[in-house]
Structure 1
Amino acid sequence: MSQRERDIDVLARTIWGEARGEGIAGQVAVGWTIRNRVEMDLGQDGKPDWWGEGYEGVCRAPWQFSCWNKNDPNYPYLTGARDIPNAQYMLAREAAVVVIEGRQPDPTGGATHYYATTMPKAPKWVVGAARACKIGRHIFFKDVP
């Protein structure tokens, strides 16, 4: 598998795990949040960032995208131990390609974080962060301290 195909697959699996209940707009927004992390150099120092490097590093960084946590019910699907329903995977893959190829501009305005409105309360990291937008059932943030 080429690096491009690996990036698309890992991003698609992450989008599926984080936003499969959203339409294409919500899935693209989640994908752009990941791309924004991939493209950002936190310290402007060229060194690896705490949230990972490249699509796989960012998606699978510990405790960043809960679907990759070993205790998350999505984890067996993301690792291939269970099969993701093909139609759902293909929609997430379409969103991943749109994001990686830049076929649509970033709808989040540069967000690097989000949380689902289905969570019982907002995460602690939202304090001091700039709310960028709400798309579907996700609220997106940038400038997270």
Structure 2
Amino acid sequence: MTASDRDRDILARTLWAESRGEGLGGQIAVAWTIRNRVFDGKAKSWWGEGYAGVCLKPWQFSCWNQNDPNYAYLSGAKPIPAAQLAQAQRAADQVMAGAVPDPTGGATHYYATTMPKAPAWAAKAKETLRIGHHVFFKDVP
């Protein structure tokens, strides 16, 4: 699969919104969960097609919901701080190119520990990594 400039932009904006406080390592981990969905091995994936399709799939990355406070930044109505976006772009570039290994061990899901409680699906999934304020999982039922 060849990724487009749009894929890179949507992935970087998603990383900024979902993990801007995590540093490059945390953003790489979030990017890998997206990449793992993109390359799930299915011809027609439930997750969506390509990086943009996966990131924009309704109700998967809440930052793209129009009622989310991040949406104004993602849509371009408000500017994302340049240095923060540049870091997210670096993470996106490295993961899209396969230049860094998957620290999540194949995770397709994560949640932020700042949530009031863990999502129900986490109880039956396999935890693969904790980094910063995120917990990563695979084999989610």
**TM-score normalised to the size of structure 2?**
0.95
Q: CA deviation at 1:3?
A: 5.0
> Offset of 1:103 from its aligned partner?
1.0
Matched residue count: 140
- The one-letter code of the counterpart of 2:54 is V
- Write out per-residue CA displacement over residues 57-79 of structure 1, whole angstroms, 9 at most, x where no aligned residue: 10011110111111100001111
Q: Distance in 2 between matches of 1:136 and 1:103?
A: 22
Gaps of 5+ in 1: none
- In structure 1, what is the Cα distance between the partners aligned to 2:85 and 2:129? 25
Residue aligning to 1:78 = 74
Q: Secondary structure at the match of 2:54?
A: helix
2:128 to 114, 132, 135: 132
Moved over 6 A (4+): none
Q: Deviations over 1:2-34 (max 9, x none)?
A: 952211111000000100001100000000000
**Conservation of the 8 A alpha-carbon contact between 2:3 and 2:51:** no
Q: Which amino acid aligns with 1:28?
A: I
Partner of 2:5: 5
Query: Could you tell me which of 45, 59, 64 is aligned with 2:55?
Result: 59
Identity across the alignment (%): 64
Distance 2:3 2:25 in 1: 25
**Aligned-pair RMSD on alpha carbons?**
1.3
Shift of 1:50: 2.4
Instruction: Give me the whole-angstrom Cα distance separating, in 1, the residues matched to 2:85 and 2:72.
Output: 14
Query: Structure 2, unaligned stretches of length 5 or more?
Result: none
Matched, 1:117 2:113: yes
Distance 1:90 1:73 in 2: 21
Whichever residue aligns with residue 108 of structure 1, its letter is T
